[in-house]
A and B are shown apart, each in its own frame.
Chain A
Amino acid sequence: MSARLGCIMLVHSALERAAQVARFWAAAGSPVVIHVDARVPRAGYQHLTDALKDLPQVRFCRRYRCEWGTWSLVAAMQAASTDLLRDFPDVAHIYAASGACLPLRPIAELAQWLGRHPGTDFIESVNVADVNWTKGGLSEERFAFYFPVAFKRHKWLFDRLVDLQRRLGVRRELPEPLEPHIGSQWWCLTRETLSAILDDPSRKTYERYFRSTWIPDESYFQTLARLYAHRIESRSLTLGKFDHQGRPHVFYDDHLQLLRRSNCFVARKIWPGAERLYRHFLAPQEGALSQAEPQPSRIDRHFARATLQRVRGRPGLYMASRFPVKDRENGKTAEPYSVFQGFTEVFEDFEGWLAAVANCRVHGHLFAPHKAEFAGRGKVFAGGLSDNATLRDYNPRAFLTNLLWATRGERQCFQFGPADTTGLRHDLLWFMATDSNAQISVITGAWAVPLSRADGDMGAIRREAARLQRIETEMLEILRSPWVRARVRIWTLAEFLENPGEPLHTLFDEIAPHQQARLIRIPELVDLSDFGGFLQELRNRGMQPVLMGDFPMNPPRPDRIKV
């Protein structure tokens, strides 16, 4: 046997929708007492009462001017509850709803469900000491300070008063034996509990206290219910999600399936223009009553994802509505990538080898001075990136973040070096060095290998060698700075050549962790027999090549690299 259920409804806008919903409650035999905000113009109010005057079980209570966050909302609920309890003595449960609430299941199913939970009050009621979800920084202070002005109309004064009371150390005493609890104002209480709250001999004392707390509609009933309820289920039967700023998410036509599958009884808040939702859920339903339990978790996840996107965003995305300042990017780039400096210079066809053995996209020198060397050397690459060097160097950082964003799901590897664009004051390199997605591997001094084999004026070559050495020295300083977050590995050329297999395998394990790196043949080294002589020639011309390490004048020629 299901107990009779009554509804109190707070209405301030979208009056036609409220009328529709009230009619739905009434059609199921549930009495409704409507509180209409006193700010609603007379004509609108008249229209609403006229529209519902054929329904004897729909009543209107005394009207208060409602202002968000103030006592007026509690006063409105008290007035509506008092009328409901007085006029409909057979009502056993009272459901608090707003005009923007929409029942998702027949009222009879809700009544039956409540009948299976006799003597239980469904009211979210959390001890303030344990709350971490209040928005706006006020939780315990809601109860400790005085809030004489409404936040929405007097923001400045409101904030100053809070500041002042903080400074003065104001601490109001809660009347005994109350313990402050807060929670959603959309509750469903039993007649016993609600009557006990309204008829409490100390009601005047409590009211005087709550009148000047902050958002009492989320604390008055929630606190007092703890005094009188036999059994509290601390949750709201009204499905309503709040965003990171504590504002309710709104439901639209496209949420129909989500709402339907949730099996929740009531949802808020509904956009008044959501014609499809109102039509679907307020249509008379035939058939047996469902006994399904409410399952709000899917909707919870849906909105939690949205809030996360608003607050954290997608890592590595820079766009018209997301442009994080430095160090607030939540991920400077979209995905891990590898930067190789000096490898193409030391190995024959390093790019081809890497592309063949690892499942990733291997570019040449993306930041080469003449053009971006995309894999396959196309003129355009993913996302519409052009290989034009001027366009790329207009904003090299954006070039990199765009490339990584456009190729999500495929690891990018590219060659880098001191001859390449490193950005204004190396800002591109700084960006990569401080990016935890970057894997940067450097063989220092390897840039000299192609020079050693270049034809032409030795004076010009020496000048170029000195320039590259200066730049690479600056780069190494950055890569060794304490702010580095990339995975940086640095070898001198001499060090690397002693055993090239080992570092290659380590890198390979990181790029393609599931492949058997040990079984893979490493690529051929370029011929370095004349390199020692070249370095000596540079020295003879007054330069001091240091970045190669202690490279022997006549290196032992490895016939075969040991693996």
Chain B
Amino acid sequence: MGLWSSYRLRWMRKRWKIRAFLKRRELRAVTDRTASLRPDSLLLFCTLRNERARLPFFLKYYRDLGVEHFLFVENGSDDGSCEYLAAQPDTSVWTTDASYRDARFGMDWVNGLLARHGHGRWALVVDVDEFFIYPYHDTRPLRALTDWLEGLGIRSFGTLLLDMYPKGPVAAHPCIEGQNPLEVAPWFDSANYTMSRNSRLRNLWIQGGARARVFFADRPQDAPALNKIPLVKWHRDYAYVSSTHMLLPRGLNLVYDRVGGEKTSGCLLHAKFLATLDEKAREEVARGEHYGNSREYLAYHAEAEADLWCKWSERFINWRQLEIMGLMSKGNWA
């Protein structure tokens, strides 16, 4: 570690920036309302494909939280997602038919949009099945959180990706359009997460939860990463490295305390395990477009009928419950 490694990371960051710049040409604007953004607008960035049924609730959830503008990259949908989003008053939509995998799972596109529209603003980067919660989200809007972070000079906010699932086979629980997915899939694992520190990028690497327990018990090293940093006061020099798991410059990854204290953190409730999954998994495996040769998706595909519920599963009530369980923390934000 030291100068040499800092220097190499610097070039790594430049590389992602250049890629993002080049990949911009793959995007075609459907509606671009970014001219109306204020210098302090709260933005949400999201890449999606064929998620029409999930969109109404997704938009409502984040509008209620206080997001002021949505920037979507729509990747080859044929279910009307694109038209639906373009018709919303607070969205900007770009579309592309280029390869999701070649764009580093959409991250190049998002990095490009962040550099152009995120600079100097707070940006939330989530997937359509991720619902951001933070301490007091039921009484304090997102702006209260970003104001507080800004006052302390904190640039990034960490979360745990918490896999939510229904009771019984996943396929047996359809979620209808506009319905809160967390009503259908309210269960989660409370204390089976393992973590280690990535000394190069300084982020935590968290694995575990229901996915590791059911799908990856015999090859835990392949279990998906659950550490996410979705909320960042963006600067044009920043870049996401791998999904929203980690960023460069690496100081942004220090969302955890190393001397015993707790920093304030939240959760991303991951409503992935819903009835649409089976069809979705089949489609994704056919495309082979997901991370690690779609090994995650292959695993789900093979066990589409799996029941993730067990008698120790916890049913989601509210953020205070997650806080007591130590899945997120108020830190000193009282």
Q: Of A247, A380, A388, A399, which one neighbours B151 at CB under 8 angstroms?
A: A247
Interface centre among B141, B147, B256, B326 (most CB of A within 10 A): B326
The segment out of B77-85, B108-116, B186-194, B283-291 that lies at the interface is B186-194
B334 within 8 A of A: yes
- The answer to whether B136 and A380 touch across the interface, beta carbons within 8 angstroms, is no
A273 within 8 A of B: yes
- The answer to whether B262 and A322 touch across the interface, beta carbons within 8 angstroms, is yes
30 inter-chain pairs at a CB distance below 8 angstroms, sorted by A residue, are A243-B332, A250-B148, A252-B140, A309-B330, A310-B262, A310-B332, A313-B260, A313-B261, A317-B262, A317-B326, A319-B326, A319-B329, A320-B195, A320-B256, A321-B262, A321-B328, A322-B263, A323-B195, A323-B257, A379-B310, A384-B189, A384-B310, A385-B191, A386-B213, A388-B218, A391-B217, A391-B220, A395-B194, A402-B192, A405-B326
Given A254-B140, A309-B332, 14 extra CB contacts under 8 A: A253-B139, A306-B334, A311-B260, A320-B255, A321-B257, A321-B264, A323-B204, A324-B257, A379-B310, A380-B213, A388-B217, A390-B217, A391-B218, A391-B220
Shortest CB distance B270–A (Å): 14
- The answer to whether B313 and A322 touch across the interface, beta carbons within 8 angstroms, is no
Please, what's the 1-or-0 string for A305-332, where 1 marks a CB less than 8 Å from any CB in chain B?
1110111111001111111110011100
Enumerate the 5 nearest inter-chain pairs by beta-carbon distance, A residue then B residue, closest first. A383-B191, A384-B189, A306-B334, A310-B332, A321-B265
Enumerate chain B residues within 8 angstroms of A318, measured Cβ to Cβ: 195
Enumerate chain A residues within 8 angstroms of B166, measured Cβ to Cβ: none
Shortest CB distance B299–A (Å): 14
**Which residues of chain B in 256-295 are interfacial with respect to chain A, using CB atoms and an 8 Å cutoff?**
256-265
Q: Of B141, B148, B193, B262, which one neighbours A398 at CB under 8 angstroms?
A: B193
- The answer to whether B144 and A252 touch across the interface, beta carbons within 8 angstroms, is yes
CA distance A516 to B140 in the complex (A): 52
B311 within 8 A of A: yes
- The answer to whether B334 and A322 touch across the interface, beta carbons within 8 angstroms, is no
Shortest CB distance B162–A (Å): 10
A386-B217 in contact given A320-B256, A323-B204 (Cβ < 8 Å): yes
Shortest CB distance B50–A (Å): 30
A324-B260 in contact given A254-B139, A306-B330, A382-B312 (Cβ < 8 Å): yes
- The answer to whether A303 and B334 touch across the interface, beta carbons within 8 angstroms, is yes
Q: Of A252, A305, A321, which one neighbours B136 at CB under 8 angstroms?
A: A252
Shortest CB distance A464–B (Å): 26
CA distance A388 to B217 in the complex (A): 7
A302 within 8 A of B: yes
Q: Which residue from chain B places its CB closest to the CB of A311 in the assembled complex? A: B261
CA distance A321 to B229 in the complex (A): 11
A309-B331 in contact given A321-B257, A391-B217 (Cβ < 8 Å): yes
Please, what's the 1-or-0 string for B226-256, where 1 marks a CB less than 8 Å from any CB in chain A?
0100000000000000000000000000011
Q: Of B210, B260, B328, which one neighbours A328 at CB under 8 angstroms?
A: B260
- The answer to whether A324 and B259 touch across the interface, beta carbons within 8 angstroms, is yes
B197 within 8 A of A: yes
CA distance A279 to B194 in the complex (A): 46
- The answer to whether B144 and A384 touch across the interface, beta carbons within 8 angstroms, is no
- The answer to whether A323 and B197 touch across the interface, beta carbons within 8 angstroms, is yes
- The answer to whether B204 and A320 touch across the interface, beta carbons within 8 angstroms, is yes
